[in-house]
Structure 1
Amino acid sequence: MRRNRWRSRMKWYGLPVLGVVIGTWATLRFSLLAPDPPVNPDDLCDIFREHTAWYDYAYASQERWGTPIATQMAFVYYESSFRSHARPPRTQLWGVIPWSRPTTAYGYAQALDPAWREYLEANGDGLFTVRTDMEYALDFVGWYNHLTHRQLGIPYHSPRRLYLAYHEGRAGYARKTFARKPAVTALAVRVRNRAFRYDNQLKTCEQEFQCWRWYQFWPVCR
């Protein structure tokens, strides 16, 4: 009798308890254990020295999709300031009560829900493919710019134009919606300048990150 009662309780409570366990694990894995933003975000060499895996992720995205490493990192700098769980600030109801957020942008790359769903459909909807993981955020940036390059003909070495299409969407870029938004066009110039500065910095230190594993040696690191 007692055994049947325990079986009945497990039947009713087992799944909710399992859900709590999984939710707690996910919180620890993707929130509490998320890396801090880099101490010196103005120097790409220092960023990669602090978060060495980020170089590997950016390099893999560049090889797969074509967007230069420095451009990817400039995008993330201006989208989230390298904060894994960044979201747009909430609006306020009557100027006092925290209300809804203006967009669904989330994570390092501030990917919107529709664009992220499209990315998952195109590249595999994995359980751990999340916007708060730098590996997938950089791959998303590369994938998005690859489609921009293919559909709009914007070259990979033009971070300003790539960012305008990223910010406004490819359809918005085609309609030149940015022409009526001086703040956006100014931001795109800052992205370009940072991308070029990051690129010059990376040229002085990239060898460090190509040969950092014990089994690698110059000049055959990759």
Structure 2
Amino acid sequence: MKKIFTALAFVLLVSACGGGGGKPPRNLDNACSIVSQKSGWLKSMKAVQRKWGIPVHVQMATIHQESKFVSDARTPFRYAIGVIPMGRQSSAFGFSQALDATWKEYQQDQRRFSAKRDRFSDAVDFMGWYMDGSSDRLGISKYDARNQYLAYHEGRTGFARGSYNKKAWLVRVSGAVADRSEMYRSQLIRCGKA
């Protein structure tokens, strides 16, 4: 009986430590629900807000668009002739959908070589670092979710060239990110988490 109890306690301990990292929160349309389910996430996002100046609601809206809060999100596969897999659309991975090269640049610049794209605290720190750079180099307000998202998606060079102007779908998406950011901001104020 003692062995069974010990084994059960071990399984419960391991599952508690895992925290369901890859499982997104329920009700992604409610910022208060998200941060109540994932309390450590709010702490991480507030740390990013203090360090980089990127508001929590802008971080949340961007993560929602990029990964729907799925830790190991990846881009879809490309197919030749509709059936032969040709690899993924890009190297984007994790909560922030950071590309391999940009992630490596962040790790080197911040000397955070053990940072992981599927660890929430690392993903939001990356996002804060990138958006802070976009603010410095492109003059985008840290509160401007729409243009921060466009620079995040297109890269700073693409944003500066206005590459998004040829992508009506992306302009619509950036508007949706801005709307979600404002929705999250209002919700966080109402529940006292702003």
TM-score by length of 1: 0.77
Residues in 2 aligned to 1:91 and 1:100: alpha-carbon distance in whole angstroms: 6
Partner in structure 1 of residue 181 of structure 2 = 195
Work out whether 1:110 is the aligned partner of 2:84. Answer: no
Residues in 1 aligned to 2:118 and 2:137: alpha-carbon distance in whole angstroms: 27
Residues in 2 aligned to 1:185 and 1:196: alpha-carbon distance in whole angstroms: 17
Work out whether 1:140 is the aligned partner of 2:138. Answer: no
Alpha-carbon deviations, 1:63-111, whole Å to 9, x = none? 0001100000000000001110100010112211222111110000000
Q: Aligned to 1:206, what secondary structure does the other structure show? A: coil
Preserved contact between residue 24 and residue 68 of structure 2 (Cα < 8 Å): yes
Give 2:160's match in structure 1, choosing from 163, 170, 174: 174
Can you give the 5+ residue segments of structure 2 that lack an aligned partner in the other structure? 1-14
Partner in structure 2 of residue 77 of structure 1 = 64
Alpha-carbon deviations, 1:172-214, whole Å to 9, x = none? 000000000000000000000000000000001235x9xxxxx
> What fraction of aligned residue pairs are identical, expressed as a percent?
37
65-74 or 34-43, which deviates more: 34-43
Partner in structure 2 of residue 39 of structure 1 = 26
Can you give the 5+ residue segments of structure 1 that lack an aligned partner in the other structure? 1-27, 210-222
Alpha-carbon deviations, 1:1-36, whole Å to 9, x = none? xxxxxxxxxxxxxxxxxxxxxxxxxxx9xx995241
Partner in structure 2 of residue 125 of structure 1 = 112
62-71 or 31-40, which deviates more: 31-40
Partner in structure 1 of residue 192 of structure 2 = 206
Partner in structure 2 of residue 94 of structure 1 = 81
Larger radius of gyration: 1
Residues in 1 aligned to 2:19 and 2:185: alpha-carbon distance in whole angstroms: 31
Q: Aligned to 1:91, what secondary structure does the other structure show? A: strand
Work out whether 1:50 is the aligned partner of 2:42. Answer: no
Work out whether 1:60 is the aligned partner of 2:47. Answer: yes
Q: Aligned to 2:96, what secondary structure does the other structure show? A: coil
TM-score by length of 2: 0.88
Alpha-carbon deviations, 1:106-131, whole Å to 9, x = none? 0000001111011000112333x100
4+ runs deviating over 4 angstroms: none
Give 1:165's match in structure 2, choosing from 146, 151, 168: 151
Partner in structure 2 of residue 184 of structure 1 = 170
